[in-house]
A = this chain, B = another copy of it.
Amino acid sequence: MAKLIRFGVSLEEELLKKFDSLLHRKRYTNRSEAIRDLIREDLVRQEWQGDGEISGAITLIYDHHKRELLEKITDIQHHYQKAIISTQHIHLDHHNCLEIIAVKGDAKKAQELADTLRSIKGVKHGTLSMSSTGRNLA
């Protein structure tokens, strides 16, 4: 099991109150676990700015009836085939699709893919969730 190190942190009283009520809402049982997660998130953001290998997810919302939209979205994904693990497609209703693309590899490539997809006319909304390969997180 990993060795734990204990150290002291000083916070403004009001900030600590807000943090505690957020922890309660988020179902954390202690501050250390919450701070640990904030630190890990910060490390992940750094991985995405560096040259390391990352993983993540791109989400897209679009109307599949829009002319040639499906072709464009699929063409681009085949072009970025090496960055993509697989794509989950959910038929939300008669018109709207949610597409979730699992990505892995170079952070810049993933960012570029997300930007390219989001900029297509007809894509209503797109997000990029930056995550990690887990290897650099304790």
Measured CB to CB, the residues of A under 8 A from B are: 2-16, 18-19, 22, 25-29, 31-44, 46, 55-57, 59, 61-64, 70-71, 74-75, 77-78, 81, 84-98, 100, 102, 104, 115-116, 118-119, 121, 124-138
Contact = CB atoms under 8 A, between A and B. Distances in A.
SS class of chain A's interface: helix, strand, loop or mixed?
A: mixed
Nearest to A70: B70
B133 A96 contact: yes
Indicate how many identical chains form the complex: 4
A9 B38 contact: no
A80 to B, nearest CB: 9
Contacts of A118: 26, 37
Most chain B beta carbons < 10 A, residue from A6, A43, A44, A138: A138
Contact of A3 (B12, B18, B138): B12
A70 B42 CA distance: 25
Nearest to A23: B119
Contact of A9 (B6, B44, B102, B131): B6
A136 to B, nearest CB: 7
Most chain B beta carbons < 10 A, residue from A124, A129, A130: A124
17 contacts: A2-B12, A6-B10, A7-B31, A18-B43, A19-B43, A35-B38, A55-B61, A55-B90, A55-B92, A78-B95, A86-B86, A88-B89, A92-B104, A93-B134, A96-B134, A100-B102, A125-B134
